[in-house]
Amino acid sequence: MEMMYDNCQMLFVDLDAESCSRSPLPGDPSHWFIGGRGFNVWYLYHYLDRNIDPLGPENLLLLSCGLLTGTAAPSASRLHINALSPLTGILGSSNIGGYVGPWLRSCGIHSIIVRGRAARPVYLYIDESTAEVRPADALWGLDAFQTQDRLHSDLGDRQAKILTIGPAGETGARFACIMTERDHAAGRTGMGAVMGSKRLKAIAVNKGTAKPFGERSRAAKAAVKAYAGEIMASADYKMFSQYGGAGYLKWADDLGVMGTRNYRETRFEGIDKVDGRRLKDNVARSSGCFRCPIQCKAELKFGNGDGRATRPEFEPMINLGAKCGLDDLETIVRLDNLCSRLGLDSTSASSTIAFAMDLFDRGILTAADAGGLDLAWGNGETMDALIRQMASGEGLGGCLAQGVKRAAAAIGRGADRYAAHVKGLELTAYHPGAILGTALGYMVSSRGGDYNNVYASLEHNWSPEKAEAEFGAAKAVDIHSPEGKGRLVRRAVLVNIVVDCLGICKVPALSLLKTFDLESEARLASAITGYRFTADGLMEIGDKIAAMERLFNLRHGPADFNDRLPPMFLNGHSPLLSEEALQRMLGDFFEAMGWDETGRPTTGTQAAMVPEDFPASPTINTHTMKDIWI
């Protein structure tokens, strides 16, 4: 069986020497936590030095395909990106779709490991037989869209897939993202800033001919057909295919979970104006990721059709809209596309703008502090100006580009009381005081305050009867009850980790199928790879990865590392949130994970993960790996 995995290599990139070398990925996938997120955290845990500057040359940047990325599996397009985060100081983690992951696999590459810092701007070129560092002086300063256009022209191949940063990554905005095409972003935790600090402008990949697991068997074809059939038969398939995540804003408002005006409210009076379903008539062309049956992306046209943009997803629609008090749909679209072009995480960018608007409304910031900008709620022109300042590192936007935690410290005057973050990462669209599983997810997510890293959609999708059977608490799926949330969020955490390791998209797996049991995913992975996976076995691997992510954060985290919501959500801010309720949920989660009362994985788990004879260089000892993980 191991020969089936032989055409998957690690590509080591030394930017100090501007050199590349390939090395086979030894063993079978279970040795490497399957791939993607699991492989990356394993590698970083063992090879990243302590006490380093995330924006220094010592940081390691890893980009890894999931086990199924580039195969015939539906929606298996994902590439996972990790480093020490310059925004949070803990595990930086982001995920991107499109075609670049499958193109890497077609070149026989599973993982790219980047170390050092180039003396000049460079880009990495990859094809089936080549990997080389090339000069990028002419690309430095271009936005993400211009960079892709220039490389397509220089390479003479419009089909090449390109990962790139924009100006925000070059200037060190701590939540700079990495883009591919016009509407795929590795958005969260500042991986674009890490690329920029290494003077790595882009990675260009030409399509190869390698197949990760050889020819498709009859069993593989049947499994692919069955999984695609489950997706297309799901209740929300048509809705997601037609509108993408933008179609669910009204649902979130009706549920009362919107983080409106920097989380002051849970509903938005302008919801009908910004309902993403209103963009239906503006759709010029639908698109999507490699082998995805949903095709939830869309190119939009405005006016006479000359103005083109891509349709935002659920998070930027709420974060740029309700969170900032903006009720103009076309402006939300334009601002989201501006973030993509400049290479900024739209969630963090909009969250820091909402923070500044909140401070202005409370009299903590003045127009003079903002360089004359009007920070009134919903001012689209000001939002545009701040986003451009974030990318250039100038003005108030330059301060906000350091993240809401650092910006609050720089502003002072009690600004930290209104800074919505956990572990330095700005919160996503849901209001934690209105949906308690999400509140707990924000607290325990391994990358900081983020919904998509935990994605506990079963909290509002499962029935009380199923919750009782699975978690021993029917109220686990009551969004207003703390009961059973520890066990529910544990399930979500483990399933999300495994989905990221497999390289499949969370939309079909968790928003449409909603099973959270990994049974279908285990059958699919087994049939395609020829290895035997079970749902229980995948859960066990997810459990080990969760423990390793936690240990990584405890090792590298700042002195104020904790699992707490910011004070702005307590002290009567929400009738559902109290210190007692939060501590109860957190304790239940640690118990469900098998960790101690402080959230540290047990001594036995640590011993299994840090063997004394583990090699200290990138030369991997396959025998040692088998001793550890099998």
In sequence order, the β-bridge partners of residue 131 are: 126
pLDDT of residue 602: 85
| Largest distance between two CA atoms of the chain | 68
Residue ranges in the chain whose pLDDT is less than 70: 1-7, 26-32, 304-306, 603-630
Rounded CA gap, 455 and 156, in Å?
A: 40
Q: Which fold has domain 234-419?
A: 1.10.569
Q: Which amino acid is at 239?
A: M
CA–CA dist 357, 362 (Å, integer) = 9
- Global pTM reads 0.95
**The predicted structure's pLDDT at residue 556:** 97
pLDDT value at position 308?
87
Res 29: pLDDT: 65
3.40.630.30, 3.60.9.10, 3.40.430.10, 3.40.190.10: CATH of 2-205 = 3.60.9.10
Angle at 169 between CA 165 and CA 170, to 5 degrees: 105
Classify the phi-psi angles of 393: left when phi > 0, otherwise alpha if psi is within -120 to 50, otherwise beta.
left
Contact 378, 354 (CB under 8 A): no
Write the pLDDT tens digit of every residue in 128-180.
999 999 999 999 999 999 999 999 999 999 999 999 999 999 999 999 999 99
Residue with tokens 């109290």: 578
* Backbone torsions φ then ψ of 113, nearest 5 degrees: -120, 110
Find out whether 77 and 69 touch, Cβ atoms under 8 Å: yes
- Break the chain into its structural domains and give their ranges: 2-205, 234-419, 436-629
- Distance of CA 283 to CAs 108, 220, 322, 508, Å? 36, 35, 23, 22
DSSP state of 88: T
- The fold adopted by the segment(s) 436-629 is 1.10.599
Q: Which pLDDT score is estimated for 30?
A: 63
- Confidence (pLDDT) at 28: 66
Q: How far apart are CA 629 and CA 626, in angstroms?
A: 5
